[in-house]
Structure 1
């Protein structure tokens, strides 16, 4: 058994649905469970409809047109989608009367995208002669807490999923399960969404619980690449990365699986393969617990732009230990996440997302320190075997020195698989190009 996950762009229209259906059919002998996101921009259209409803107007024209036009082009009739659209209209009418959209109602609202997507795909596969059955996530036992918009799955899911899909795995059920990603229900039967990386988490949870041979996530490139091909045209596929490396890649800008989605497969050691939906014969990249051969010195290079650097210098008000406590208490108070950090006894330099509002945080920090904020920075990260950090940095800094580029901050991650450096945002692409040329010879 395998699990195949396709994102919204993969099922954005009739042409893409036909293509994904052909991929599913090509793998049907491996008994796939398919996890789908909402079609294209459906989630955005649903949220736009909610905003209109709050202001008193009920309009589902965009959502309705996309799904009706797609069904017509695929030459299928999907009564279940028509029923959902009526339910959606009823929900929006309620929102328009209350002039309010709560987190709980928002989760209910955005669930319609995934629910319509799986019904569309199952109907089309049936038309093509491939037996398929759609499932809403709760049909296979996806139960979460009640933290709407960012729910976490409960431990009972590990037992629920094998019970629900056991007949399919052992061959008694012939229909390929087409399952919604991103959504679940809480103990009270209320629909929830799983937050960032939710569809990836749905797929890895199903794969891990079912002890699948492999979890596949389908994208538009040949797996994980050594860097962004839009920056470096010579970027090449990486055959194998570890879970830890993949998590670090995702944390520092690469479009891999969301870090939280790695948790289920890490518990069971289930491999995850990133494949190209435009090149299905490509092996892609596999994510595993440990490298099967020699650990590469450098696996990939990634970058994050729009970063702010905060330099904090103690004014000795709190003493050394009290200074650090003061700093991190303020970050906790203002709910600001730190990306990269470098410390000494009396100073701290750290980076945050450039979109973060810092006025209140900085004001509180200044009660015990001198604070400077510098914007328009970028983090360039080497995903590497940090046990070879000296030779890696020798090659990296030699190349940067020759290009007259100064690194403003450097941090080796506690995970021992990344080295991050801070540069001006205007230099980020050049730095990635220079390092890729120096480190991937």
Structure 2
């Protein structure tokens, strides 16, 4: 029987009843319920409360603990987290005996964390101990709370519905052993018979190097992919609240987008570069190297096979699969009339960008100009610019804010596609600042003004996807997991 490792994201897992009916049970009975492992994220918004809001930057428990203001403000934030967790318990179990069990689990974890952080504050009041040296560990501990809560609740809910489920805690809670992630997985899953038991695994897994420190907020997908590789799964599945589509349906219209169906990890990498992650790039690398295909399914459309991403997929007919893009990009242009024929310019720029943790989205160059399209804060960009000007005193360095729109596909080697893209942008009255296309034929990038972003996406999608009659390949061709 096919063995799958499946990940449920925060938005999906928060919609408890839908996930129960469409994913966790989904009409299955008996043996069909098993030979699956689920990795769950924290409920939507919980990690924001524990760390800081991902978009607005509003401080959570960690930010308040690490900040220089009221040193006890974090305790109120932690109490607010406990209230939110218990409110979720009440929503799920509505006063039934399971609610008391779930509440006791939350209180125990929250109190342990509270006592730990108080002790750390007390210890760091001595001059020999520094708080900043322990903050990365504090962030790891706080992050683990959200996934531990959702995994425990999900297993409890399944047990209530007669499923032999078990919460599998990879957070190393009260575990003094120094194990690698794979050793921890082996230890946690060692006594489980997958043919008759359903593991619900925390999306946070303790590791020696720190999961959040290495992978940021994408750590649940890294846990998911490493677990899939560890158990040698036949397929990895991510359940999202939407289909992987040819564009953002909220932008171009739900009735105009197409589900992708089949594609490869090369496309997934291009999507990640544009900030539209089908899967975290590190997770994609793990699955690709392990030879495990990834299926992206819509939680709210369980009968649809979704989109399968594999290492070896190549389309029968070249086509544009997705039109997407990225706002908030800076163009960092370095011009020097004496650059031609000289070495070292590019390495100097790269050193400065690396030093200030600035991500490169794309780049282009000619005889005397190198332009990097980058993501980063204005402060970091200003510092990097100053470094470049110091190291290259003869160069003129300028920055401007732009956007990038990208046409992506496993094979977009369609005759005239670049001319068609340019025509679509011209007819939509979108001026082009730059155009990039590599020989691999997986994407075309156009640099434009930010104000033209929405218009450009819609124009390119209409011209290269909606007006093209190539049939969308069906993921059902690679049979959906049972």
Asked if TM exceeds 0.5, the reply is: yes
Structure-2 residue corresponding to 1:116? 149
Q: Are 1:395 and 1:439, in contact at CA under 8 Å, matched by a contact in 2?
A: yes
Query: 1:51, CA displacement in angstroms?
Result: 4.1
Query: 1:184, CA displacement in angstroms?
Result: 1.6
In the alignment, the residues of structure 1 paired with residue 315 and residue 341 of structure 2 have an alpha-carbon distance, to the nearest angstrom, of 48
Secondary structure of the corresponding residue to residue 230 of structure 1: helix
Structure-2 residue corresponding to 1:372? 398
Query: 1:163, CA displacement in angstroms?
Result: 6.9
> Cα deviations across residues 223-249 of structure 1 (Å, max 9, x unaligned)?
x10011111111111001101111111
Q: Are 1:226 and 1:235, in contact at CA under 8 Å, matched by a contact in 2?
A: yes
In the alignment, the residues of structure 2 paired with residue 239 and residue 372 of structure 1 have an alpha-carbon distance, to the nearest angstrom, of 42
> Cα deviations across residues 194-215 of structure 1 (Å, max 9, x unaligned)?
4242111111111122121211
Secondary structure of the corresponding residue to residue 150 of structure 2: helix
Structure-2 residue corresponding to 1:150? none
Query: 1:371, CA displacement in angstroms?
Result: 1.4
Root-mean-square deviation over aligned CA pairs: 2.9
Query: 1:180, CA displacement in angstroms?
Result: 0.8
Pair 195,302 (structure 1): closer, same or farther in 2 beyond 3 Å: same
| Structure 1: tracts of 5 or more residues without a match | 146-152
Match of 1:348 among 363, 366, 370: 370
In the alignment, the residues of structure 2 paired with residue 282 and residue 248 of structure 1 have an alpha-carbon distance, to the nearest angstrom, of 25
TM-score (structure 2 length as normaliser): 0.80
In the alignment, the residues of structure 1 paired with residue 398 and residue 462 of structure 2 have an alpha-carbon distance, to the nearest angstrom, of 34
Structure-2 residue corresponding to 1:267? 289
Q: Are 2:263 and 2:314, in contact at CA under 8 Å, matched by a contact in 1?
A: no
Secondary structure of the corresponding residue to residue 301 of structure 2: coil
> Cα deviations across residues 381-410 of structure 1 (Å, max 9, x unaligned)?
111356626521011112222233221112
Structure number with higher relative contact order (C-alpha < 8 Å, ≥ 6 residues apart): 2
Counting matched residue pairs gives 422
Q: Are 1:46 and 1:110, in contact at CA under 8 Å, matched by a contact in 2?
A: yes
Secondary structure of the corresponding residue to residue 184 of structure 1: coil
Q: Are 2:425 and 2:456, in contact at CA under 8 Å, matched by a contact in 1?
A: yes
Indicate yes or no: 2:276 matched with 1:226. no
Query: 1:420, CA displacement in angstroms?
Result: 1.1
Q: Are 2:109 and 2:145, in contact at CA under 8 Å, matched by a contact in 1?
A: yes
Query: 1:379, CA displacement in angstroms?
Result: 0.6
> Cα deviations across residues 414-440 of structure 1 (Å, max 9, x unaligned)?
754122110000001111111111101
Structure-1 residue corresponding to 2:39? 35
Which aligned pairs between 1:209-224 and structure 2 lie closer than 5 A?
209-222=230-243, 224=244
In the alignment, the residues of structure 2 paired with residue 318 and residue 398 of structure 1 have an alpha-carbon distance, to the nearest angstrom, of 33
> Cα deviations across residues 19-60 of structure 1 (Å, max 9, x unaligned)?
323321125535210101112222222232344445124223
Structure-1 residue corresponding to 2:11? 9
Pair 292,341 (structure 1): closer, same or farther in 2 beyond 3 Å: closer
Once the two structures are overlaid, the 10-residue window that deviates more, 121-130 or 315-324, is 315-324
In terms of fraction of residues, the more strand-rich structure is 1
TM-score (structure 1 length as normaliser): 0.87
In the alignment, the residues of structure 1 paired with residue 274 and residue 149 of structure 2 have an alpha-carbon distance, to the nearest angstrom, of 33
Which aligned pairs between 1:179-198 and structure 2 lie closer than 5 A?
179-186=201-208, 194-198=215-219
Match of 2:454 among 421, 429, 440: 429
Pair 408,390 (structure 1): closer, same or farther in 2 beyond 3 Å: farther
Pair 88,322 (structure 1): closer, same or farther in 2 beyond 3 Å: closer
In the alignment, the residues of structure 1 paired with residue 118 and residue 246 of structure 2 have an alpha-carbon distance, to the nearest angstrom, of 49
> Cα deviations across residues 330-356 of structure 1 (Å, max 9, x unaligned)?
323333222111111211122111534
> Cα deviations across residues 123-177 of structure 1 (Å, max 9, x unaligned)?
11111111111112267xxxx99xxxxxxx96x72x7646753664663xx3211
